[in-house]
């Protein structure tokens, strides 16, 4: 680790002066620590890394230790890409998977090897039923189904069976019973029964004597009734959200205010799903014509959406700020860019950012899942669009097919899920009914 290497690494990040200081301090400290404990020409060892982490943990909170470890890992990854031998933390991440935080926590334990062992990823479809699951999924996908949700559900069953080797060789109903007993709740019970039915159907294709397992009658309805109802943001709450995004500043993330503001505008003003927002590239945005393209989304649909002029202006301002920090400008480059890590944002990161905006606006508790969700902005888009149509004197029923197309639904039935009655909407509908009733009475000679 040479001092000039650190300077060249920091130049690739394009950091502001304050951010550069927060990087260079732990890097130089780690370099000095490693040189004291490593002979000339010797590679960095896991022993040296653990000694550094332990010393840092004795002085600082665990969160700060993980943050500094992340900086060092990024630097070591940069060195490895330049031809230096891979560092031990890269080998641990590749071998055990998991987040850096869990690896750091394990390395701080005395018996770190035993602490790392639970992090080892399980092989895909490694259970006794794994081959059957893999074959069934391949068959359904060959028929044109994405089958993503069912695949994730079967993966959970597969991992459960791998963690319970004592169940190997047991009858299929006993395996389902053990999985159901592992957790409580109606949703888990539905998951078990749905997976059991799917797998029993796959078994029956091999052996027609295998019975197809049923799903308990009414279980799906009970799960739906227990689901959390969507929160339809009021217009005042929307204003608070945009204000919280506009002031959402961070020392190491100069784009954060305009980035979260723009994402919020697309989620609320265009009714986009968070996955659709995360998948956007520069190719999909046409500010000249005020159009955004959503590619290969749910139900295998691609759609082009016109945006309001105010939304186009917000997107244009974000693109200008994005260009100013040196983000890539190729058509396939991700729309959402972080200059600190020099890459795009993932689905989970964008969802986390918007959730933090909701918390900053005071609409959601600081911890936990209670309170409004990011997806509720899509419900608010539909409710407020209906409300605006009532205010403009438009007949909403005639516009539902247009709304379904804009939302990317395959039919109006899917859109009906988003038609939530709010007090404002009910008031507008009642007023329209009163006026029409008065006109009908007047035409019939009655008292208006």
Angle, to 10 degrees, between the axis of helix 130-142 and the axis of helix 186-206? 80
Please work out, in degrees rounded to the nearest 5, the angle formed at the alpha carbon of residue 137 by the alpha carbons of 132 and 139: 95
Distance in angstroms (rounded) separating the CA atoms of residues 409 and 273:
12
In angstroms, the CA 104 to CA 118 distance is: 14
Pair of tokens at residue 276: 């659709």
- Closest Cα partner for 257 from 356, 383, 327? 356
Catalytically active residues, by annotation:
273, 298
Alpha-carbon distance of 280 to 222, in angstroms, equals: 36
Distance from chain centroid for Cα 421? 28
**Is the Cβ–Cβ distance between 315 and 307 less than 8 Å?**
yes
8 A C-beta contact, residue 137 and residue 150: yes
Distance CA(369)–CA(389), nearest Å, equals 33
**344 CB-side CA count, 13 A:** 16
| Sequence-ordered list of residues with C-beta below 8 angstroms from that of 175, at least 6 positions apart, any chain | 129, 161, 167
Q: Which two tokens stand for residue 216?
A: 């308990």
- Look up residue 376 and give its two tokens: 């509720």
Cα separations in angstroms, 118 against 18, 92, 102, 121, 447? 38, 13, 10, 8, 78
Tokens 């998991």 correspond to 98
Instruction: Give me the helices (H) in 87-218, please.
Output: 88-96, 100-107, 112-116, 130-142, 148-163, 172-181, 186-206
Give all strands (DSSP E) within 315-400, no chain letters.
Answer: 337-338, 343-344
């Amino acid at each position: 680790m040479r001092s000039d290497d650190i300077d060249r690494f920091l130049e690739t990040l394009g950091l502001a002066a304050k951010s550069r200081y927060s990087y260079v301090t732990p890097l130089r400290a780690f370099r000095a620590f490693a040189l004291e404990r490593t002979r000339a020409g010797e590679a960095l060892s896991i022993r040296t890394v653990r000694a550094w982490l332990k010393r840092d943990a004795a002085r600082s909170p665990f969160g700060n230790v993980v943050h500094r470890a992340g900086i060092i890992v990024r630097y070591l990854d940069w060195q490895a890409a330049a031809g230096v031998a891979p560092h031990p933390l890269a080998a641990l991440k590749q071998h055990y998977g998991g987040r850096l935080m869990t690896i750091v926590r394990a390395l701080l334990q005395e018996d770190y090897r035993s602490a790392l062992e639970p992090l080892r990823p399980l092989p895909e479809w490694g259970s006794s039923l794994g081959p059957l699951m893999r074959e069934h999924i391949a068959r359904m996908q060959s028929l044109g189904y994405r089958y993503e949700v069912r695949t994730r559900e079967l993966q959970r069953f597969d991992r459960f069976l791998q963690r319970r080797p004592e169940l190997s060789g047991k009858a299929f109903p006993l395996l389902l019973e053990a999985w159901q007993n592992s957790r409580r709740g109606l949703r888990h019970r539905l998951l078990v029964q749905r997976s059991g039915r799917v797998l029993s159907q796959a078994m029956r294709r091999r052996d027609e004597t295998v019975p197809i397992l049923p799903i308990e009658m009414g279980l799906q309805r009970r799960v739906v009734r227990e689901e959390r109802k969507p929160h339809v943001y009021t217009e005042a709450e929307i204003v608070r959200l945009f204000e919280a995004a506009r002031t959402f500043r961070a020392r190491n993330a100069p784009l954060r205010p305009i980035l979260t503001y723009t994402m919020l505008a697309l989620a609320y003003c265009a009714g986009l799903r968070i996955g659709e927002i995360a998948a956007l590239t520069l190719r999909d945005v046409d500010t000249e014509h005020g159009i955004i393209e959503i590619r290969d989304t749910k139900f295998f649909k691609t759609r082009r959406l016109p945006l309001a002029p105010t939304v186009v202006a917000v997107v244009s301002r974000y693109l200008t700020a994005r260009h100013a920090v040196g983000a890539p400008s190729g058509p396939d480059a991700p729309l959402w860019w972080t200059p600190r890590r020099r890459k795009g944002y993932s689905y989970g990161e964008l969802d986390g950012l918007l959730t933090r905006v909701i918390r900053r606006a005071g609409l959601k508790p600081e911890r936990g899942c209670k309170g409004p969700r990011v997806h509720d902005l899509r419900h608010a888009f539909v409710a407020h669009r209906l409300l605006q149509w009532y205010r403009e004197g438009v007949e909403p029923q005639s516009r539902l097919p247009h709304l379904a197309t804009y939302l990317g639904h395959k039919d109006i039935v899917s859109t009906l899920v988003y038609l939530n009655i709010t007090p404002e909407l009910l008031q507008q509908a009642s007023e329209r009914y009163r006026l029409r009733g008065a006109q009908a009475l007047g035409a019939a000679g009655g008292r208006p």
